[in-house]
Amino acid sequence: MRKLMIPVVVVVLALLLMSVFVIPEGERGFVIRFGRVMKDANDAAKIYEPGLHMKMPLFDRVKSLDARIQTMDGRSDRFVTSEKKDVIIDTYVKWRIKDFGQYYLATGGGNALTAEALLERKVTDVLRSEIGSREIKQIVSGPRNKDVLPDSADAEVVTTEAAKQALEIDGQRDQIMENVLNDTRKSAMKDLGVEVVDFRMKKINLPDEISESIYRRMRAERESVARKHRSQGREKAEVIRAQAELEVATILAEADKTARVTRGEADAKAAKIYSEAYNKDPEFFSFVRSLKAYEKSFSNKGDILVLDPKSDFFQYMNNAKGAVAK
Per-residue pLDDT tens digits for 65-106: 888 999 998 788 889 988 888 889 999 999 999 888 888 888
| Beta-carbon contacts of residue 201 (< 8 Å; ≥ 6 apart) | 89, 90, 91, 173, 176, 177
Task: Decide: pTM greater than 0.85.
Answer: no
**Which of the residue ranges 36-40, 207-211, 256-260, 280-284 has the most confident prediction, judged by mean pLDDT?**
256-260
Whether the per-residue pLDDT at 6 is higher than 90: the answer is: no
Mean pLDDT (whole number) for 293-317: 65
- Banded pLDDT at 261 (limits 50, 70, 90): very high
Mean pLDDT for the stretch of residues 108-128? 90
User: What does the pLDDT read at residue 301?
Assistant: 65
Q: Would you say 135 and 81 are in contact if contact means Cβ atoms under 8 Å apart?
A: yes
Average pLDDT over residues 113-133: 92
- Tell me which CATH homologous superfamily contains domain 70-146+164-206: Band 7 domain (3.30.479.30)
Percent of the chain with pLDDT over 70: 80
d(CA 72, CA 123): 11
- Integer angstrom CA distances of residue 207 from 79, 143, 259, 294, 325: 11, 25, 76, 100, 116
Q: Is the pLDDT assigned to residue 28 strictly greater than 70?
A: yes
Euclidean distance between CA atoms 257 and 210, whole angstroms: 70
Of the listed ranges 1-5, 269-273, 321-325, the least confidently predicted one is 321-325
Q: Is the pLDDT of residue 277 over 60?
A: yes
Nearest residue to 160 (alpha-carbon basis) of 225, 237, 67: 225
Predicted local confidence at residue 152, as pLDDT = 40
